[in-house]
Amino acid sequence: LARFYCDYCDTYLTHDSPSVRKTHCSGRKHKENVKDYYQKWMEEQAQSLIDKTTAAFQQGKIPPTPFSAPPPAGAMIPPPPSI
């Protein structure tokens, strides 16, 4: 009996058929697990970049930037891109 394992949900489906997979993958809990997985991955990537940048700055590899000063009055700061 072949069973399908869903990595996102850390569970085996009762059996491996297209209809069972489709039903599982369209479910609310599965979609939440996928969203949480990628959200966590994005946060880890961002933290890794922050850590590398901080280390390089502390080692003097990155000079202070003009961005360290607050933006001039009336300057528009673009909104962050939506995920």
Q: 59: which DSSP letter?
A: T
Specify whether the backbone of 54 is left (phi greater than 0), alpha (psi in -120 to 50) or beta. Answer: alpha
> What does the domain layout of the chain look like in residue ranges?
5-58
Sorted by sequence, the CB contacts under 8 Å of residue 5 that are 6+ apart come out as: 11, 12, 13
Q: How far is CA 25 from the centre of its chain?
A: 19
With beta carbons less than 8 A apart as the criterion, state whether 16 and 23 touch.
no
Q: Tell me what the pLDDT averaged over the chain comes to.
A: 86
User: Is 74 a residue whose pLDDT tops 70?
Assistant: no
**Binning pLDDT at 50, 70 and 90, where does residue 61 land?**
confident
Whether 83 has a pLDDT exceeding 60, the answer reads: no
Give the pLDDT of residue 67.
Answer: 61
Confidence of residue 57 (pLDDT cuts 50, 70, 90): confident
pLDDT at 60 over 80: yes
Residue 65 has a pLDDT of 66
Share of the chain above pLDDT 90, in %: 59
Distance, CA of 11 to CA of 21 (rounded, Å): 12
